[in-house]
Amino acid sequence: MIDTACINTVKPVLKWAGGKTQLLGQLTFLMPTEEITTYCKPFLGDGAMLFSIQPGIAYVNDINVGLMNVYNIIKYFPEELIAELNSYENTAKFYYVIRELDRDAKKFAALTAVEQAARFIYLNKTCFNGLHRENRQGQFNVSYGKYKSPDFVNAEGIRAVSQYLNAANIYFTSMDFLEVLKNIPAGSFVYFDPPYDPVSETANFTGYTRYGFTSDDHIRLKQCCDELTAREIKFMLSNSNTDFIRQLYAGYHITEVSARRAINCNGDGRGVVTELVIRNYS
């Protein structure tokens, strides 16, 4: 771990389906007891666990290229990002102008990396339910959220995250989860937080990228966990409490935790749910 006394305000700057902020206490309790020197998160999302434990070395990855660009810009150009966000407006008209930028590939490619990161954060904080969703063309397609005072600038949060990312050795990638695991050294700790196995049709959200996440992907992930176990690398994995996941990971340590979820188009499907935490260590 690094000395983080001066940056203990590091928190996620994005909303994310399945974000782990509310579960940090339960998850930290289930982590290995020895100090974690090298951490790996193949599905980064909002980075709640990364910012909580603040390892000195971390391999963080997400197949969502736009998401990883956000973290790169926060690390290297936080003030430029804050300035860009300060120029944005919380109106439906402005929202749809920004949202439609990815409908024209040439116009979107012409945006600077800072502008793309600001767009990503702005849409994340002002869209309906904080839901990041892309269609098969990779276009953001969530409607305006109509929030009175969304904090899409969050200058203090951006600066705190930037300070941590520059204090530690963080390796950013955007690739398939199997690829990033090839580079991690022995003794690493891996935390998987993939798109969850759906518990119902209305809770079936895997559209945070154009690629989705299928049952076959969950099977590939389990095989990856078996390979990590053979390499004596410890992992912890979060997923839905479904028969499919329980059967898939039979033989591993499985613990139930409770969480409150709001990503569901059916209001009756929101509320406290049971999730599974799966480990290859006791």
* CA angle (18 as vertex; 13, 208 as ends), nearest 5: 80
CB atoms within 10 A of CB 129: 15
Range list for CATH 1.10.1020.10 in the chain:
75-155
**Amino acid letter for position 209:** T
Q: What is the mean pLDDT of residues 133-147?
A: 91
Domain 5-70+157-279 has CATH 3.40.50.150: yes
User: In the predicted model, is pLDDT for residue 247 greater than 70?
Assistant: yes
| pTM for the structure as a whole | 0.89
CB atoms within 10 A of CB 71: 22
Percentage of the chain with pLDDT > 90?
Answer: 77
Q: Which two tokens stand for residue 198?
A: 């759906």
pLDDT band at 1 (very low <50, low <70, confident <90, very high): low
Range list for CATH 3.40.50.150 in the chain:
5-70+157-279
Tell me the pLDDT of the chain averaged across its residues: 90
**Amino acid letter for position 255:** T
Q: Which of 50, 271, 44 is nearest to 160 (CA)?
A: 50
- What kind of fold does domain 75-155 have according to CATH? Adenine-specific Methyltransferase; domain 2 (1.10.1020)
Which residues are CB-contacts of 159 (< 8 A; sequence separation ≥ 6)? 78, 82
The three-class DSSP label of residue 272 is strand
User: What separation in angstroms does the CA of 213 have from each of 45, 63, 139, 261?
Assistant: 14, 11, 17, 19
User: In the predicted model, is pLDDT for residue 212 greater than 50?
Assistant: yes
pLDDT by residue (tens digit) across 25-51?
A: 999 999 999 988 899 999 999 999 999
